Amino acid sequence: MKIDLTGQTAVVTGGAHGIGLETARALRDCGARVVVADLAETREFPYLKLDVTDAAAVDAVFTELSNVDIVVANAGIGGEAPLDEQTPEQWAAIVAVNLTGVFHTVQAAARRMKARRRGAIVLTASTNSFDGERWLTAYNATKHGVLGILRTAANELGPHGIRINAVCPGFIRTRLTEEGFANPDYMREYARHLPLGRGGEPEEVARVIAFLASPLASYMTGAAVVIDGGQLAAKFGIWNDDNAHFVKDHWELK
Ligand SMILES: NC(=O)c1ccc[n+]([C@@H]2O[C@H](COP(=O)([O-])OP(=O)(O)OC[C@H]3O[C@@H](n4cnc5c(N)ncnc54)[C@H](O)[C@@H]3O)[C@@H](O)[C@H]2O)c1
């Protein structure tokens, strides 16, 4: 059994870096023609400069690329602030990319896909779609909201032969998290709460996105698939110095 996307065209928003870049690579490896739509440039893939906060620009991408089969709405930004210090500007910027940008992308994709009665959409949500990690009010609100888009779109698009699913990554090594990954004290404490004892790699998310986008996931729609090394399943810290060693950036049993 193999993921085969031969002959399919895929668009990945935020595909110039991180999870999006690895997703573009995974989809290409499965045979798809991949176009990256991002604010940042990439030379590795056919590229369209796109700001997902601009509805008309998102729509123009789909006009330019006729017959898009797979859309990965992945572009996103972070931003920390204590609840009582978050500025309206920071709140608005995060909502514009992470929530409204996903809405624009799903809407533009749905309009084209409905006409063809086929298509697969994958959203990048987060474990923060389910929890309330401190200092991330805006981020958490947008990632909860992405699941609202997911479930509503699944209801509306299913009858038209269009599937939509989400991945909910935990702590994944990208630009968004590089400071944390580079700090052993931070990693030691963070990974103590992860059953697998380590952060994740963007390829580990990309493989699941490729599966969800493929015919192998033909009976999946409206699903939010958690890829978090067990983080959401964990209640208390799992790893400690009695049972394990912390090595560089992960825990190993003694
Ligand atoms: N890294 C993690 O631990 C983690 C965990 C859960 C969810 N996520 C989500 O994964 C997605 C990808 O994040 P990442 O960690 O790969 O970060 P990243 O910064 O490496 O990649 C994000 C990409 O989105 C692009 N982008 C940002 N704003 C944009 C805009 N307005 N229009 C178009 N493109 C834009 C950036 O240029 C970049 O290429 C985000 O939605 C993020 O919230 C990440």
Give the closest residue (by CA) to ligand 1 atom 2.
Answer: 172
Tell me whether residue 159 is in a domain: yes
State which H helix or E strand residue 244 sits in.
strand 244-247
Please say if the pLDDT value at position 54 is more than 90. Answer: yes
Residue 224 lies in a domain: yes
Q: What are the angstrom distances between the C-alpha of 172 and each of 35, 44, 169, 227?
A: 23, 22, 7, 9
Pick from 168, 218, 207, 213: nearest CA to 23 = 207
To the query of whether residue 139 is one of the catalytic residues in this protein, the response is yes
* Residue 166 belongs to a domain: yes
How remote is the CA of residue 76 from the centroid of ligand 1, in Å?
4
Domain count, the chain: 1
Q: Is 235 within the bounds of a domain? A: no
Quote the CA–CA distance of 111 and 156 in Å, as a whole number: 12
55-98 tens-digit pLDDT: 999 999 999 998 999 999 999 999 999 999 999 999 999 999 99
List pLDDT tens digits, range 186-236.
Answer: 999 999 999 999 999 999 999 999 999 999 999 999 999 999 999 999 999
Domain that holds residue 13: 9-181+200-229
Residue 15 is assigned to a structural domain of this protein: yes
Is 244 part of any domain?
no
CATH code assigned at 78: 3.40.50.720
pLDDT of residue 66: 84
- pLDDT on residue 135: 98
In this structure, which amino acid lies at residue 64?
Answer: E
Between the CA of 14 and the centroid of ligand 1 the distance, in Å, is 6
Using CB atoms within 10 A of its CB, is residue 74 exposed (0-12), middle (13-18) or buried (19+)?
buried
What is the best residue among 44, 174, 194 to mutate for testing ligand 1's pocket, by most ligand atoms within 8 Å of CB? Answer: 174
Name the region of 222 (left: φ>0; alpha: ψ -120 to 50; beta: rest): left
Q: What percent of the chain has pLDDT over 90?
A: 100
* Residue that has been written with the tokens 């893939």 in this structure: 45
The 10s digit of each residue's pLDDT in 91-114 is: 999 999 999 999 999 999 999 999
Q: Is the pLDDT of residue 155 over 90?
A: yes
Q: pLDDT confidence of 44, banded at 50, 70, 90?
A: very high
Residue 192 lies in a domain: no
- Rounded CA gap, 89 and 95, in Å? 10
Active-site position among 139, 186, 190, 219? 139
Confidence grade of residue 37 (pLDDT, cut at 50, 70, 90): very high
Assess if residue 253 is contained within a domain: no
Does residue 18 have its Cβ closer than 6 Å to ligand 1? yes
